[in-house]
Amino acid sequence: MQTLTIAFDLDGTLVETAPDLIRATNHVMTLTGLPAVEGPDIRPYISFGARAMIEAAVKMHGSKRDSAEVDRLYAEFLTHYADNIAVESHAFPGLEAALDRLAARGARFAVCTNKSEVLSRQLLTALGLINRFKAIAGRDTFAVYKPNPAHLTGVIERAGGDPTRAIMVGDSETDIATARAADIPVIGVPFGYTATPMRDLGPDIVMEHYDQLDAAVEQLSTPKER
């Protein structure tokens, strides 16, 4: 394999973060005097960020909060989440073995996420994954963020890679749109947080499990298959 950079989304792609994000959402629900929300109900909003999760949870109870109150709840969310960032979060099955195999073949890895860079690094450090990635770009790393393609190409270049020799792996419509805008092949995973079935989003390949990552990368990194 020629040097290849694989850029991954974080939440719902590399790591199952839903339990800790949902717990943080329900923590701020207690501050509003509203009941907790059920995990399956709020899970599809994870890909839109914490603020969207809070607003959706409030709306589920037929309520609404003004922007100043949402700002306050968002700040409380971030504090609680940072203090409990890896209570139940874990790498998806097969991830680490797949990274080992691809690294042995010369691939390098990066993270392209709309989570803040500080929280992304904190999470990956807590899970013992931080050293696997040559570069990590969060929502606040550059002047732009997904779906702007410069977020993806920027982190690939920061990892020492070439966007023409790269692949994106993600779980959401935003990830697919970012990769398309950057003209980078994209692998979609169906076990993340989008409410739309991954196959309907039109990635180049849908990968059901990380055991399939090697074959997907091989297919997309072979010129005749592009």
Residues marked as catalytic: 9
Handedness of CA 114, 117, 119, 121 (dihedral sign): positive
Q: Is 199 exposed, middle or buried (0-12, 13-18, 19+ CB in 10 A)?
A: exposed
Q: How many CB atoms lie within 10 A of CB 161?
A: 23
Phi, psi angle pair for 105, to nearest 5°: -95, 5
d(CA 217, CA 167): 8
d(CA 140, CA 112): 11
User: Which three-class secondary structure state does DSSP give residue 104?
Assistant: helix
C-beta separation of 179 from 152 below 8 A: yes
d(CA 38, CA 36): 7
Q: How many CB atoms lie within 10 A of CB 183?
A: 11
Go through the chain and tell me how many residues it has: 226
Phi, psi angle pair for 15, to nearest 5°: -130, 135
d(CA 141, CA 151): 9
